[in-house]
Amino acid sequence: MSRKLISITSGCFNEEQNLVELWERLKKVFENEPAYDFELIITDNCSTDRSREVLRRLASEDSR
């Protein structure tokens, strides 16, 4: 049986310190929901911190 996909979208601006925590919390929620999988779509709004680098690293570690 294939899992239903839930797409979660968010914008970000200078959220370098929060992106990993967001990702970890979402993974934890969906571990308890075996019928569902998720993808996280983040739109970076020209952050001046390392948000883009963090997002790229997370994407390379998990292909969702």
Residues 15-63 have pLDDT tens digits of: 999 999 999 999 999 999 999 999 999 999 999 999 999 999 999 999 8
* CA 21 vs CA 1, 28, 61: distances in Å: 30, 11, 15
Task: Provide the pLDDT confidence category of residue 64 given band limits of 50, 70 and 90.
Answer: confident
Report pLDDT for 63: 83
Asked if residue 15 lies in contact with residue 51, where contact means CB atoms within 8 angstroms, the answer is: yes
Determine the Cα–Cα distance for residues 51 and 18; give it in Å rounded to an integer.
9
Determine the Cα–Cα distance for residues 31 and 17; give it in Å rounded to an integer.
23
